[in-house]
């Protein structure tokens, strides 16, 4: 059995399996053959034999070259929905890691909230400027706010959204949420659930807005000037969903004008972010390089889930018992 994988390719700069981990994987696979796939490369050997694909960069052209492909396992939560029609036609099963890093992503969101609300991130700028004292910190005191008993809107109440909501509930926060499919039982700790089409109304008056949405036809650039201008002046916007859900030009404008208090951004439209980006000049923004789900046991969790599914795959040719099936039409 041939397994195609793009996670140890030298052509990627992050989320790459190191040589030691790769050797462990190959020993574990034993009878199966794992081959490196480089999506940018035109000609590659043995793609026609690939039955399983493990990685993040599969595209339409690769699928055409893999006539025996039966299962794709994405090493991330968000997935490439551009291949939806091909997958549907060929009846390829798709799984991902959507529940694997919910605790880590939730922790990142909370770190954004506390750092931006309390102004601790600003101390790094003062330190670099050799102005780390109370006098200079007081210049931003009007933007310093509490976290306890504030209001938060969680846009995307899935596994991660619920974890964030539970922690915020313990802080006495008033919790609102948006669920794309609003037909669900409202958790006790959530005050109200809005439909996505009511986003403008939902953001109004909230202290914190957390975006967890994938990029779809309905969510691309959904956070734009109309939405940002509907937020209260001291609100904080956090994005750990996908960069494409945000109109970055509109966000940049409201941040420069202090129309909102600040932003925590783990994802951008183009990654890695250019070191010339205007976002990097703003002192009311925290930017991290798409690391919200990273932990010291990142690859251990990844590999464990993949091999659990690989065993299930070999036992059941109809693939109905795989874990973490994806809704590729919705992008997750």
Q: Convert the pLDDT of each residue in 23-78 to its tens digit.
A: 777 777 776 888 889 888 888 899 999 999 999 889 999 999 999 999 999 888 76
* pLDDT score, position 331: 59
Say yes or no to pLDDT of 12 above 70: no
pLDDT attached to residue 322: 72
Q: What are the pLDDT digits (tens) for 105-122?
A: 999 999 999 999 999 999
Provide CB contacts within 8 A for 187, sequence distance 6+.
Answer: 157, 162, 165
> Is the predicted pLDDT of residue 195 greater than 90, yes or no?
yes
Angle between helices 19-29 and 298-315 (to 10 degrees): 20
Q: What does the pLDDT read at residue 7?
A: 85
Q: What pLDDT does residue 27 have? A: 74
Residue with tokens 């195609």: 4
- Least confident interval from 139-153, 264-278, 310-324: 310-324
Give all domains of the chain, ordered by start, each with its CATH number: 2-100+295-315 (3.40.50.720), 102-287 (3.40.50.720)
HEC profile for the chain? CEEEECCCCCCCCCCCCCHHHHHHHHHHHCCCEEEECCCCCCCCCCHHHEEEEEECCCCHHHHHCCCCCCEEEECCCCCCHHHHHHHHHHCCEEECCCCCCHHHHHHHHHHHHHHHHHCCCHHHHHHHCCCCCHHHHHHHHHHCCCCCCCEEEEECCCHHHHHHHHHHHHCCCEEEEECCCCCCCCCCCCCEEECHHHHHHHHCCCCEEEECCCCCCCCCCCECHHHHCCCCCCCEEEECCCHHHECHHHHHHHHHCCCCCEEEECCCCCCCCCCCCHHHHCCCEEECCCCCCCCCCHHHHHHHHHHHHHHHHHHCCCCCCCCCECCCCCCC
Q: Give the pLDDT score at 243.
A: 96
Q: Is the pLDDT of residue 183 over 70?
A: no
pLDDT of residue 71: 93
Mean pLDDT taken over the chain:
89
Residue 232, both tokens: 């209260």
Half-sphere CA count of 25, side-chain side, radius 13 A: 27
- Note whether 59 and 38 are within 8 A (CB): no
Task: Quote the pLDDT of residue 130.
Answer: 95
- Whether the per-residue pLDDT at 250 is higher than 80: the answer is yes
CA distance 107 to 18: 26
Whether the pLDDT of residue 258 is over 60: the answer is yes
pLDDT of amino acid 76:
81
Instruction: Give the torsion through C-alpha atoms of 20, 26, 27, 31, to 10 deg.
Output: 180
Q: Between 299 and 162, whose confidence is greater?
A: 162
């Amino acid at each position: 059995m041939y397994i195609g994988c793009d996670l140890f390719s030298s052509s990627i700069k992050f989320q790459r399996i190191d040589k030691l981990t790769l050797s462990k994987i190959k020993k574990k696979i034993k009878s199966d053959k794992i081959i490196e796939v480089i999506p940018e490369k035109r000609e590659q050997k043995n793609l026609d034999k690939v039955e399983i694909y493990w990685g993040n960069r599969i595209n339409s052209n690769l699928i055409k070259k893999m006539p025996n492909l039966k299962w794709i396992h994405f090493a991330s939560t968000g997935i490439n929905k551009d291949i939806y029609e091909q997958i549907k036609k060929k009846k390829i099963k798709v799984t991902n890691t959507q529940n694997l890093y919910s605790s880590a992503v939730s922790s990142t969101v909370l770190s954004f909230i506390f750092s931006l609300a309390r102004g601790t991130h600003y101390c790094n700028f003062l330190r670099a400027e050799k102005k780390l004292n109370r006098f200079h910190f007081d210049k931003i005191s009007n933007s310093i706010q509490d976290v306890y008993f504030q209001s938060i809107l969680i846009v995307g109440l899935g596994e991660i959204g619920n974890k964030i909501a539970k922690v915020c509930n313990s802080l006495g926060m008033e919790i609102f949420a948006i669920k794309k499919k609003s037909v669900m039982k409202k958790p006790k700790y959530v005050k109200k659930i809005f439909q996505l089409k009511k986003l403008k109304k939902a953001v109004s008056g909230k202290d914190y807005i957390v975006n967890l949405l994938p990029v779809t036809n309905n969510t691309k650039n959904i956070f734009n000037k109309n939405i940002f201008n509907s937020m209260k002046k001291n609100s904080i916007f956090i994005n750990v969903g996908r960069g494409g859900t945000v109109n970055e030009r509109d966000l940049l404008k409201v941040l420069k004008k202090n129309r909102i208090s600040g932003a925590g951004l783990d994802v951008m439209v183009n990654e890695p972010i250019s070191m010339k980006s205007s976002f990097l000049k703003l002192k009311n923004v925290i930017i991290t390089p798409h690391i919200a789900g990273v932990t010291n046991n990142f690859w251990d969790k990844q590999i464990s889930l993949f091999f659990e599914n690989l065993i299930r795959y070999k036992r059941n040719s109809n693939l109905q018992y795989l874990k973490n099936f994806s809704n590729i039409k919705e992008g997750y």
